[in-house]
Amino acid sequence: MAEPARDRLINSATELVQRHGVAGTSVADLLERSGAARRSIYLHFPGGMSELITTSVADAGNSMSTLIEEMVTTHSPPEALTAFVEFWRELLTSSDFAAGCPIAAAAYGGMEIPPAREQAQRVFEHWQELLVPRLVTDGADESDATAMATTTIAAIEGAVMLCLADRSTTPLDRVHTQLTTMLHAQTG
């Protein structure tokens, strides 16, 4: 069964934002990639590209939230970190260092679509909230867990950006090593 036009538009928007950013995602490219008719955008997203991009950020954020939640409930913090790093390593290398984080791209592209930036902020905040309880359970106090969650998300997102620029996973490897050391110090 063919994927519904709405889903194709959301998935295509996510992929294009990952590769070209918010400003570089055009209606023409979106229609070509999704195979959807122009009227489908406005039928499913009355707010046009702004609504579509914001929805794609929420959708990508929810998918990653599910992955993070699974990682932190089934792995120790260092193991979950390793799994998260491996997710990004696979995305970066399989795209030949062309695709990054659509949430970060939406945050950077906030001038073009402010609701997408606001959605990115909510996603990043949620990801941090998912990490804190597991860190506390494993021995970190609440304020250290909150700081570590922020540091982890910020460091990984920054490493992904550096990997794109460097066309190498070396920045991600270095961040992984440092974060692992920090996690062991906080969670024993």
- Tokens 């070509």 locate to 32
Read off the tokens for 159: 């490493």
Quickly state the pLDDT bin for 8 (edges 50, 70, 90): very high
Q: How far apart are CA 4 and CA 154, in angstroms?
A: 34
Contact 10, 52 (CB under 8 A): yes
> What's the whole-number mean pLDDT along residues 82-97?
97
Q: Does the structure show a pLDDT above 70 at 76?
A: yes
Read off the tokens for 133: 């309880």
Q: Kindly report, residue by residue over 14-59, the tens digit of the pLDDT.
A: 999 999 999 999 999 999 999 999 999 999 999 999 999 999 999 9
Q: Does the structure show a pLDDT above 80 at 183?
A: yes
Contact 103, 124 (CB under 8 A): yes
User: Distances in Å between the alpha carbon of 85 and those of 11, 37, 144, 156?
Assistant: 22, 37, 21, 8
Domain residue spans of the chain: 55-187
According to the model, what pLDDT value does residue 109 have? 84
According to the model, what pLDDT value does residue 1 have? 60
Average pLDDT for the chain = 95
Of the chain, the percentage scoring pLDDT greater than 90 comes to 94
Helix, strand or coil, per DSSP, at residue 36: coil
Helix, strand or coil, per DSSP, at residue 65: helix
Q: How far apart are CA 24 and CA 175, in angstroms?
A: 28
100 or 111: which carries more pLDDT confidence? Answer: 100
Of the chain, the percentage scoring pLDDT greater than 70 comes to 98
Q: Does the structure show a pLDDT above 70 at 174?
A: yes
Q: Kindly report, residue by residue over 114-163, the tens digit of the pLDDT.
A: 999 999 999 999 999 999 999 999 999 999 999 999 999 999 999 999 99
Q: Does the structure show a pLDDT above 80 at 104?
A: yes
Quickly state the pLDDT bin for 187 (edges 50, 70, 90): confident
According to CATH, the superfamily of the domain at 55-187 is: Tetracycline Repressor, domain 2 (1.10.357.10)
Q: Does the structure show a pLDDT above 90 at 93?
A: yes
Q: How far apart are CA 50 and CA 126, in angstroms?
A: 22
Q: How far apart are CA 108 and CA 20, in angstroms?
A: 12
